[in-house]
Amino acid sequence: MAITTRITELLGIEHPIVQGGMMWVGRAELAAAVSNAGGLGILTALTQPTPDDLRREIDRCRSMTDKPFGVNLTILPSVTPPPYADYRKAIIDSGVRIVETAGHKPQEHVEDFKGHGITVLHKCTAVRHALSAERMGVDIISIDGFECAGHPGEDDIPGLVLIPAAADKVKIPMLASGGFGDGRGLAAALALGAEGINMGTRFCATVEAPIHEAVKQFIVANDERATNLIFRRFHNTGRVAKNSVSDQVVAISQQPEAVFEDIRPFVSGAKGREALETGNLDAGLVWAGQVQGLIHDIPTCQDLLAQIVGDAERIIAGRLAGFLQHQPGKVAA
């Protein structure tokens, strides 16, 4: 038995499970492992310092898997933005067939990718944004609930409402994202109208994730309450793991006169990278979602995907089907 959806057919993958793009984490080791396990691994373009470095990372990933994989390009508003067009060209020139986009005003990039026959997944945190992306021509929507790590938007709508609300209106295939980490989640996502799941935090706690073992153990030890919401004051909400740095960012942000410059020294990407690579959990932000409360081990990607799909199949064919097989009969008069 296998779970086949429009997602698996469109992406050419065995299981409807996608590894989301994650800064400093979405490298060839992880992406290849996820793809080899039957899901879709994704490299994170901006983890690479230059477009040429991205070309080399794509080549490195190809040397590790012959299965489909994608590249994430997240567009963030910035005074000094990275050379997005050059990264986009590197992706196209390298013959990548699947791209995950996210962030601010992606239309230019989506149009160019689509013009080169690339399948585009776009991550959204609201139904209205999903419909806009659908009109833009993307192939798959990844709808990201409030439970997620990263930037959940400003509407605070959890997946249990957001996923079916989007499924009611979005016609193209949809991935459910935010709070997914096991077979129960996959079965639930399918029931809610999605055709697969996108996982980030769960893939951080795998053998192949290229981050320090102390960070993986930190995620396993945390529960569902162990996150902080930062940047709320600045209307750019982010969900991160609760540690001394994110606690300090929250405390500073609550001061009446606080401005972003007051927290800038604590939230730099370089400090987050240091935390992930050295295991020093007080060095910077560690981005993680509420799904930490469902993560209890550090498996290989192969074992993780097999467990998730196997559990989902048993839930769908066994437990849920069982509720339909035992209808109480009428009592005779």
Tell me: pLDDT of 291 over 80. yes
DSSP line for 128-193: HHHHHHHHHT-SEEEEE-TTSSB---SS---HHHHHHHHHTT--S-EEEESS--SHHHHHHHHHHT
Indicate if the alpha-carbon torsion angle 69, 73, 74, 80 is positive or negative.
Answer: positive
Return d(Cα 94, Cα 92) in angstroms, integer: 5
Q: Are the beta carbons of 10 and 173 closer than 8 angstroms?
A: yes
pLDDT digits (tens, 9 = 90+) for 149-194: 999 999 999 999 999 999 999 999 999 999 999 999 999 999 999 9
More confident residue, 304 or 332: 304
pLDDT, tens only, 216-240: 999 999 999 999 999 999 999 999 9
Number of residues in the chain:
333
Q: φ, ψ for residue 47 (rounded to 5)?
A: -65, -30
Residue 75, helix vs strand vs coil: strand
**Full DSSP string of 178-210:** SS--SHHHHHHHHHHT-SSEEESHHHHTSTT-S
Would you call 44 helix, strand, or coil by DSSP? strand
| Mean pLDDT score, 1-25 | 96
For the full predicted model, state whether its pTM sits above 0.85: yes
Domains, the chain, ranges and CATH?
Answer: 6-210+297-316 (3.20.20.70), 213-278 (no CATH)
Helix (H, G, I), strand (E, B) or coil at 219: helix
Reported as a single tens digit per residue, the pLDDT across 57-110 is 999 999 999 999 999 999 987 778 999 999 999 999 999 999 999 998 899 999
pLDDT > 90: what percent of the chain? 94
Q: Map tokens 């998730």 to a residue.
A: 308
pLDDT number for residue 326: 63
Q: Give Cα separations from 27 to 22, 78, 109, 200, 275 (angstroms).
A: 9, 24, 22, 13, 16
Q: Flag whether pLDDT at 33 surpasses 70.
A: yes
Given a contact cutoff of 8 angstroms between Cβ atoms, the answer to whether 207 and 20 are in contact is no
Structure tokens at 42: 């994704």
Q: Which amino acid makes up residue 194?
A: A
| Residue 46 banded pLDDT, cuts 50, 70, 90 | very high
101-110, 131-140, 290-299: least confident range: 101-110
Q: Which of 100, 272, 88 is nearest to 199 (CA)?
A: 100
Mean pLDDT computed over 27-47:
98
- The residue that leads in pLDDT, 328 or 257, is 257
Task: Decide: 140 and 7 in contact? Cβ < 8 Å.
Answer: yes
| Average pLDDT over the chain, rounded to an integer | 96
Confidence of residue 328 (pLDDT cuts 50, 70, 90): low
Between 80 and 244, the more confident residue is 244
Q: Note the pLDDT of residue 218.
A: 98
Angle at 315 between CA 301 and CA 20, to 5 degrees: 35
> 303 in helix, strand or coil?
helix
Q: Cα 82 from chain centroid?
A: 21
Instruction: Mention every residue, 6+ apart, whose C-beta is less than 8 A from residue 238.
Output: 150, 151, 229, 230, 231, 287
